[in-house]
């Protein structure tokens, strides 16, 4: 089975398994796990931040970050297609009492700066206080498009003008850096905090990181505790994360190349509608003819051909390339798609 549902289906490498088996361990809640400490130091160094924190998942990483930036009844401005808003069960509101104010995402994943500026609210008793702007890089629901440094700097400047912080949901920030040929630190420079996943394209079995200033991470650690995210001998997890950061970032361009080939092949099929130029990283969204088979039916049929993708709308599906998917797999997948979409 060629599994293109998500890059979360990656399996840890042999080097990760060996590192996990031999990791030096301690109790991380007491701050005594040397492997966790080493991972956090490495993540901080690579993102250009003062400190970092290991957490179990990307959803928890974003929630911890929002809880650390905002108090109850305060507000975050974010895109209407943002993962935080769309896919994280409204945790910032239900758990943190943080009000989400959405701004339309443009096709390239950005929010118009004028719209963000117009959404900022001051200290008026009728309104929640705006405290935070959240961006997403790469932007999942906008074709996995990376946000460039110039745009992120403009958001940072706008936030600074109004005394706001910026959080970046960087679940796939290393994909963004690879696509733009810049460092992660260049992308992270204008933001106050960022999260990124070890368990997607970087292929670790579990874990995400929160990065920011030392005082921010100190408070984030408290929020991790209250959310139940404190882990004990977490060096077993961290060991795989260290291998992910040291060995798996340079190969992400292979996933991008495979995604572009997949997009080019699909775009030539009668029932598939997409522009390959929109595919800049490892995510491919495909629209189907409304009068034809639904996405759910297409997903079921293509699974019967040995390929898994995920329905993302009534007539839309998504395919994601990742470690373990080869050029040969892409060609096999295209032959399977041709049998039902051509």
Mean pLDDT of 23-34: 97
| Stretch(es) of the chain classified as CATH 3.40.640.10 | 10-246
Per-residue confidence at 180, pLDDT binned at 50, 70, 90?
A: very high
pLDDT at 122: 84
pLDDT band at 342 (very low <50, low <70, confident <90, very high): confident
Mean pLDDT calculated for residue range 175-191 = 98
Phi, psi of 272 (to 5 degrees): -105, 135
Kindly give the pairing relationship between strand 74-79 and strand 99-103. Answer: parallel
Q: Give 123's pLDDT tier (boundaries 50, 70, 90).
A: confident
pLDDT, the chain, mean: 97
Q: Identify the pLDDT of residue 54.
A: 98
Q: Write down the pLDDT at residue 8.
A: 97
pLDDT-based confidence at 323, cuts 50/70/90? very high
Locate 26 and state its tokens.
Answer: 């301690």
CATH 3.90.1150.10 segments of the chain? 251-341
Q: Residue 311 and residue 294: Cα distance in Å, rounded? A: 9
Confidence of residue 82 (pLDDT cuts 50, 70, 90): very high
Could you name the CATH architecture of 10-246? 3-Layer(aba) Sandwich (3.40)
CATH code for the domain defined by 251-341: 3.90.1150.10
- HEC string for the chain: CEECCCHHHCCCCHHHHHHHHHCCCCCHHHCCCHHHHHHHHHHHHHHCCCEEEEECCHHHHHHHHHHHHCCCCEEEEEECCCHHHHCCCCHHHHCCCCEEEEECECCCCCECHHHHHHHCCCCCCCCCEEEEEEEECCECCCCCECCCHHHHHHHHHHHHHCCCEEEEECCCHHHHHHHHCCCHHHHHCCCCEEEEECCCCCCCCCCEEEEECHHHHHHHHHHHHHCCCCCCCCHHHHHHHHHHHHHCCCCHHHHHHHHHHHHHHHHCCCCEECCHHHCCCCEEEEEECCCCCCHHHHHHHHHHCCEECEEEECCEEEEECCCCCCHHHHHHHHHHHHHHHC
Give the pLDDT confidence of 305-322 residue by residue, as tens digits. Answer: 999 999 999 999 999 999
**Chain segment 47-65, per-residue pLDDT in tens:** 999 999 999 999 999 999 9
User: So what's the pLDDT on residue 73?
Assistant: 96
Kindly tell me if the per-residue pLDDT of 291 is higher than 90: no
């Amino acid at each position: 089975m060629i599994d293109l549902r998500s890059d979360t289906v990656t399996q840890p490498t042999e080097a990760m398994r060996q590192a996990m088996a031999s990791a030096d361990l301690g109790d991380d809640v007491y701050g005594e796990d040397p492997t966790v400490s080493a991972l956090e130091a490495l993540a901080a160094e690579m993102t250009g931040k003062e400190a970092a924190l290991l957490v179990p998942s990307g959803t928890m990483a974003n929630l911890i970050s929002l809880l650390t930036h905002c108090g109850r009844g305060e507000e975050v401005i974010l895109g209407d297609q943002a993962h935080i808003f769309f896919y994280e069960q409204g945790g910032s509101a239900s758990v943190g009492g943080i009000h989400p104010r959405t701004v339309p995402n443009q096709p390239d994943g950005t929010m118009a700066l004028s719209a963000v500026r117009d959404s900022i609210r001051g200290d008026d008793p009728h309104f929640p206080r705006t405290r935070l702007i959240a961006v997403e890089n790469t932007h999942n629901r906008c074709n996995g498009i990376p946000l460039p440094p110039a745009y992120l700097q403009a958001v940072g400047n706008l936030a600074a003008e109004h005394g706001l912080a910026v959080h970046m949901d960087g679940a796939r920030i290393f994909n963004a850096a690879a696509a733009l040929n810049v460092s992660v630190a260049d992308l992270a420079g204008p933001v106050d905090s960022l999260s990124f996943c070890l368990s997607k394209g970087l292929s670790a079995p579990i874990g995400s990181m929160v990065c920011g200033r030392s005082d921010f991470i100190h408070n984030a650690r408290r929020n991790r505790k209250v959310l139940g995210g404190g882990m004990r001998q977490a060096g077993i997890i961290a060991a795989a994360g260290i291998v992910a950061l040291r060995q798996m970032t340079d190969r992400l361009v292979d996933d991008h190349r495979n995604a572009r080939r997949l997009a080019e092949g699909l775009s030539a099929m009668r029932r598939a509608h997409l522009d390959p130029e929109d595919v800049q990283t490892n995510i491919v969204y495909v629209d189907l003819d409304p009068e034809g088979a639904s996405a759910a039916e297409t997903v079921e049929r293509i699974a019967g051909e040995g390929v898994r993708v995920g329905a993302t709308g009534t007539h839309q599906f998504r395919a994601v390339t990742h470690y373990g998917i080869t050029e040969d797999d892409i060609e096999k997948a295209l032959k399977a798609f041709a049998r039902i979409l051509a």
